[in-house]
A and B are shown apart, each in its own frame.
Chain A
Amino acid sequence: MSDETATMAAPAVGRAALHTPTRGRAARWYERLIELGLAGCGMTSIVVTIGIVVILAHESKDFFAHVGLGEFLGSTKWTPIIGDHHSYGVWPLLSATLTTAAIALAVAIPLGLLAAIYLSEYAAPRTRKIIKPALELLAGVPTIVFGYFAITTLTPALRDYIPGLSGGNLLSAGLMMGVMIVPLVASLSEDAIYAVPQSLREAAAGLGGGAFEAIRKVIVPSAWSGIAAAITLAASRAIGETMIVAIAAGNEARFGFDPRQPGQTATAYIVDISKGETPHGSVAYQTIFAVAAMLFVMTLIMNVISHRLSRRLRAAARA
């Protein structure tokens, strides 16, 4: 009987509390306003992305009406402003983009992954506390600084060892970009390795595996989808990086994969052409959008792959 009165009384007290004057209509509007404001912030990036896609599609539609996708993807000559006969084959830009990105990844993947392994499996907590912020500091260096370092220090130094290295070249730009991306690979890979359940480390130890064997055969493979996500994100960073290649790669749109030679990446081309001399509405002007659309598609593919991989990682972590 007494239990029953207790349960009857409790909601009555609750309802009375809801009607206290401080939680009136104004307070509820205030909450609603905050929610709307926050939703607006969340929508911004979506709206901006949609805007970019619409403008890219619109402007490059005019370009492709004039040039045609066949020439764009089929020709290896890119002379949109030079000479009387203009060629619009994107391969020179693409070859430079792919070469610098490949060099950058060749530097960033091993260095970043080994740094991540060291940080999560070997480093003492105190060492980790020093190295991780230092690594993140590297990520905060403006890319123009890397670019100038590449052209004023790295290229002259490399010239002593590599004959035929051009003043502006894909190699220096790629190497510098690699150094720039190391923190990204290291930080994301470290998160993935750190998230490998302790029980798997114990299982490996219990089978008589040494520390490094366990890392190589159990821990890194278990973290692989996270590491692969880090690598694809790094690749899209490398493809999209602008300042280093604009300064250090030579800015000559020539088709070829020789890293000693100068080249012009897609991003560097956009910097070059959009400085202001190109008349609005001309085909040369529209090339900016066509090239940008290509870059957008490339990084989009990379990001989709990365997203899928990390989703698989989260699903595996739950299991």
Chain B
Amino acid sequence: MKITVKGLRASFGDHEVVKGIDLAIPSRQITAIIGPSGCGKSTFLRCLNRMHELVPGASRAGQVLLDDTDVYADDVDPVLVRRWVGMVFQKPNPFPSMSIKDNVVAGLRLTHRYDRKDAPGVIERALRQAALWDEVKDKLNDPGTSLSGGQQQRLCIARALAVNPDVILLDEPCSALDPIATARIEELLLEIRRDYTMVIVTHNMGQAQRVAEHTAFFLQGELVEFDTTAALFGQPRDSRTADYIAGRFG
């Protein structure tokens, strides 16, 4: 197991949105989290790399173990956690002040690991992994924001990969993209899934079935069911899961 979550609760002020979740996320696989809006899946995801606490008024209880280290232990620096657990967001957010290639190495620059000699290799490798190299190799100095939405999101994936994380969290990475751009991203996730542990939050049940080995179904801040994707969609054990995947609510 790469990540083990024990009794995780998370709130914004008095409003508890994650209500005690236990979940073990397997290494070097894709795990999907599905559920209707407001079920706490994004907040859960943001607890895994301590992004949740950046929101004013946010609080949390419970444990998140990365390998065997509790990322919420007193002596753990949240900034270091995020170096190992990267994130890709719902809306593509390349840095507007940077070129394509500077966006890729932005994480290295931010963490003082940038090396001018290694940079071209890092840039090419990350862009190839993100299936963007062929489209941008002749315009690496153009602004990152000059790309299309789908390309921007792949650039953000390349940016996350360039810092060599163990885990990549993806928060509805395709919800702002058209079906063709979405297919591209899904394809690339399948290609790199043996190298990284990935957790993807998605609204799209088809996407979970296409990319994820395991799927967790969240409802109102609770984990209803966690299983292999085939089992969860094939023979759901809980009637609420069955109702949700059949489209009877949500």
Residues in chain A within 8 A of chain B (CB atoms) = 197, 199-200, 202-210, 213-214, 217-218, 221-222, 224, 316, 319
Contact = CB atoms under 8 A, between A and B. Distances in A.
- Chain A CB within 10 A, most for which of B79, B86, B110: B110
- Chain B CB within 10 A, most for which of A199, A203, A210: A203
Contacts of A203: 89, 93, 95, 156, 159
When A and B form their complex, which 4 residue pairs have the shortest distance between CB atoms, in order from nearest? A209-B110, A208-B83, A207-B107, A206-B87
- Chain A CB within 10 A, most for which of B54, B82, B93, B97: B97
A174 B151 CA distance: 50
Interface residues on B, range: 20 to 34
A213 B96 contact: no
A207 B89 contact: no
B96 A205 contact: no
Given A316-B96, A319-B96, A207 B91 contact: no
A195 to B, nearest CB: 12
B166 to A, nearest CB: 12
A206 B97 contact: no
Contacts of A224: 97
A208 B107 contact: yes
Interface in B37-89: 49, 51, 54, 79-80, 82-84, 86-87, 89
B96 A207 contact: no
A319 B152 CA distance: 13
Contacts of A206: 49, 51, 82, 86-87, 89, 160
B49 A217 contact: no
B163 interface: yes
A207 B145 contact: no
Given A214-B110, A224-B97, A319-B96, A208 B89 contact: no
Nearest to A210: B79
A197 B80 CA distance: 23
A208 B163 contact: yes
Given A210-B111, A319-B96, 19 more contacts: A199-B89, A200-B93, A202-B54, A202-B87, A203-B156, A203-B159, A205-B54, A206-B49, A207-B106, A207-B110, A207-B159, A207-B160, A208-B86, A209-B111, A213-B109, A221-B95, A221-B98, A222-B95, A316-B96
